[in-house]
Amino acid sequence: MGRHFYRIQSFAKKSLKAGAVVVVGVLVYKGLSRNSNNTLHASWTTNYEPTVKWNSNWDRREPTSLVKPLKGGSDADRVSYQQKIESQTPKTSRHLILIRHGQYFDNATADKERFLTTLGRSQAEMTGKRLKELNLPYSSLISSTMTRAKETAAIINKSLPQLAHVMDDSLREGAPIPPEPPLGTWRPEQKQFFQDGARIESAFRKYFHRASPEQTEDTYEVIVCHANVIRYFVCRALQFPPEGWLRLSLAHGSITHVSIRPSGRVSVRALGDHGFMPVEQISYS
């Protein structure tokens, strides 16, 4: 390894203001080494390399991981290998429209009694109308099996009657992973994290992946579930530390839009969007 030397260059200019001299300066660090390209970094830069690099095979569908490595060195071998790679490469994107259920009676003990409040039903109606206004080519409507999510999806379904409403038990609310930092007022038993975490992670792997090579058009799946589930999904999809899920906040009936590109790149186009609701009808708990 070559030795590294750092030189601090200071650029300043003087200006006269109210009889005083004001010095404006910018520090630029110049990293020099035998193997470097003399890259300049602004003074507020804290690192020269990403702290965490993107894992392009996060969904185990990276084309190069699905094809046997090239062994031969002939032109025919290379052409055949490239053709196999292309056959495993997606051409379209997948869009996941994640909806948090509407406000519900959270003081009940049994799930069947934790149904939507009047406000919650109104929120679900507004979300359904918003989805209809967006006029996207929705391909499916999926919900958790919990009462509040089923009711919300059923109300949304009135605005999107072309979709069949199906339910998935893996999307139920739960405790995905111990949050960091911990929240003193919310401390589930450790066994709940083990039980819920495995289920919610399996739901993530089920729905979050790039399109299959056979898919010819972009798909838009509407998934109605819960705040903890959605927050965990977003952290996992962006490859952020999943323990940070509790730092995010989602309003009832809000829309989170996640796009998964053919390359496997993931972007969040909307997070907890509730701007279509009147201020007096926005709620979080």
What range defines the domain where residue 172 resides? Answer: 94-281
Looking only at the bridges linking them, the beta strands covering 94-100 and 138-143 are unpaired
**Domain assignment present for 221:** yes
* 159-185 residue pLDDT tens: 999 999 999 999 999 999 999 998 877
- Give me the DSSP letters along 86-115: HHTS--S-EEEEEEEPPPB-TT-SSGGG--
Displacement of CA 174 from its chain's centroid (Å): 18
Q: Where does residue 223 rank: exposed (0-12), middle (13-18), buried (19+ CB within 10 A)?
A: buried
Which domain CATH number covers 224?
3.40.50.1240
User: How much is the pLDDT for 12?
Assistant: 42
Domain match, 125 and 214 both: yes
Domain match, 64 and 175 both: no
Domain match, 103 and 38 both: no
> 232, 224, 209: which is closest to 92 by C-alpha?
209
**Domain assignment present for 50:** no
The single-letter code of the amino acid at 8 is I
- Counting as low any pLDDT under 50, the low residues of the chain are 1-35
Domain match, 252 and 141 both: yes
Domain match, 167 and 218 both: yes
**Domain assignment present for 242:** yes
Domain match, 122 and 230 both: yes
User: How much is the pLDDT for 8?
Assistant: 39
Work out the number of other CB atoms within 10 angstroms of the CB of residue 219: 17
Domain match, 154 and 252 both: yes
**Domain assignment present for 47:** no
Our count of domains for the chain comes to 3
Domain match, 270 and 171 both: yes
Task: Please state whether 264 falls in left (phi above 0), alpha (psi between -120 and 50) or beta.
Answer: left
Domain match, 148 and 226 both: yes
Three-state DSSP at 224 gives: strand
Domain match, 98 and 198 both: yes
User: How much is the pLDDT for 247?
Assistant: 95
Distance CA 273, CA 2 (A): 50
> 163, 154, 150, 159: which is closest to 220 by C-alpha?
163
Distance CA 123, CA 245 (A): 24
Domain match, 202 and 222 both: yes
DSSP conformation class of 116: B
Domain match, 17 and 101 both: no
Work out the number of other CB atoms within 10 angstroms of the CB of residue 178: 15
